Amino acid sequence: MSVDSKQPALTMWSEDEIAFRDAVRSFAEAEIKPHVNHMDEKAEMNPEIVSKLFEMGLMGIESPERFGGAGSSMTMACIAIEELGRIDGSVSVLCDVQNTLVTNAIIKWGSPGLQEKYLPRLAREWVGAYCLSESSSGSDAFALKCRAEKKDGKWILNGNKLWITNGKEASFFIVFANIDTSKGYKGITAFIVEKGFKGFTVGKKEDKLGIRASSTCELIFENCEVPEENVLGEIGKGYKIAIETLNEGRIGIGAQMVGITQGAYDATLAYIKSREQFGKAIGQFQGVQFQLAQMRIELEASRLMVYNAARLKDAGQDFIEAAAMAKYYSSKVAEKVTSMSIDLFGGNGFTKEYPVEKFWRDAKIGQIYEGTSNMQLQTIAKIEMDRA
Q: Domains of the chain: which residue ranges?
A: 15-126, 129-236, 240-385
CB under 8 Å to 111, separation ≥6 — which residues? 229
Q: What is the identity of the amino acid at 119?
A: L
* 13 strand-pairing partners: 2
303-312 confidence digits (pLDDT tens): 999 999 999 9
For residue 334, the one-letter residue type is: A
CATH label, 15-126, candidates 3.40.309.10, 1.10.540.10, 1.10.8.60, 1.10.10.10 = 1.10.540.10
Residues contacting 371, CB < 8 A, separation 6+: 139, 246, 250, 324, 327, 379
Q: Say which CATH class 129-236 falls into.
A: mainly beta
Q: Give the strand pairing for 147-151 and 154-165.
A: antiparallel
pLDDT at 5 (0 to 100): 40
DSSP annotation string for 153-199: TEEEEEEEEEEEETTTT-SEEEEEEES-GGGGGGGEEEEEEETTSTT
Which phi and psi angles does 277 have, rounded to 5°?
-145, 145
Closest CA to 259 of 86, 29, 58: 86
Catalytic residues: 370
Look up the CATH architecture of domain 240-385.
Answer: Up-down Bundle (1.20)
Give the pLDDT of residue 10.
46
According to DSSP, the β-strands at 280-281 and 276-277 are antiparallel
Cα angle at 19 between 304 and 65, to 5 degrees?
Answer: 95
CA nearest 28: which of 334, 262, 215?
262
Phi, psi of 265 (to 5 degrees): -65, -45
Chain centroid offset of residue 201 CA:
23
Q: How far apart are the first and last CA of the chain?
A: 36
Q: What is the pLDDT of residues 242-252, one digit of tens each?
A: 999 999 999 99
Instruction: Note the pLDDT of residue 11.
Output: 53
d(CA 157, CA 147) in angstroms, rounded, equals: 6
Q: What share of the chain is helix, strand, coil (3-state, %, to 5)?
A: 55, 15, 25
- Gap between the Cα atoms of 189 and 234, Å rounded: 7
Residues 358 and 360: their CA atoms lie apart, in Å, by 5
Query: So what's the pLDDT on residue 328?
Result: 98
Residues of the chain with pLDDT under 70: 1-11, 388
The single-letter DSSP state of residue 211 is S
